């Protein structure tokens, strides 16, 4: 499918997008290329392929959440907040941003 300059002008007007006259022809070529690519996708045989809700819809292995020993481990809240400008009961104190 090919899109011409007039179609781009009409779509831009309907979308209320101000496009200068010199950009209409390059946009027509870009959109025609995109539609050509979509037509190529329509030629792919997808018979028997199950639809996916997401490309990352997979179950990842989980591990137990355990505190580690040593200087980088947990159980040392005073070390975690040591460089914070203001703390209270081992929590960071930050300015209120939502009222």
Domain assignment present for 58: no
What CA–CA distances, in Å, run from 66 to 9, 73, 75, 78? 60, 9, 11, 19
**Tens of pLDDT along the chain (99 residues)?**
789 999 999 999 999 999 999 999 999 999 999 999 999 998 999 898 888 777 776 777 888 887 777 666 667 788 888 899 999 998 999 998 887
Query: What's the rounded Cα separation, in Å, for the pair 46 and 40?
Result: 13
Number of domains in the chain: 1
- Domain encompassing residue 17: 5-42
Judge whether 65 lies within some domain: no
Give, in order, the Cα–Cα distances in Å from 15 to each of 12, 18, 38, 95: 5, 9, 22, 41
What predicted TM-score, i.e. pTM, was given to this entire model? 0.48
Residue 80, pLDDT score:
83
Give pLDDT, residue 57: 64
Residue 71 lies in a domain: no
- Within a domain: residue 96? no
**pLDDT for residue 73:** 64
Asked if the structure places residue 36 within a domain, the reply is yes
Q: For residue 42, give both structure tokens.
A: 């329509």
């Amino acid at each position: 499918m090919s899109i011409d300059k007039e179609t781009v002008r009409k779509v831009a007007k309907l979308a209320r997008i101000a496009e200068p006259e010199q950009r209409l022809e390059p946009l027509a070529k870009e959109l025609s290329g995109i539609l050509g690519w979509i037509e190529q996708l329509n030629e792919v045989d997808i018979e028997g392929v199950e639809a996916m809700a997401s490309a990352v819809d997979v179950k990842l292995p989980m591990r137990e959440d355990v505190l580690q020993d040593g200087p980088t481990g947990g159980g040392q809240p005073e070390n975690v907040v040591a460089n914070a400008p203001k703390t209270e009961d081992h929590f960071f104190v930050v300015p209120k941003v939502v009222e």
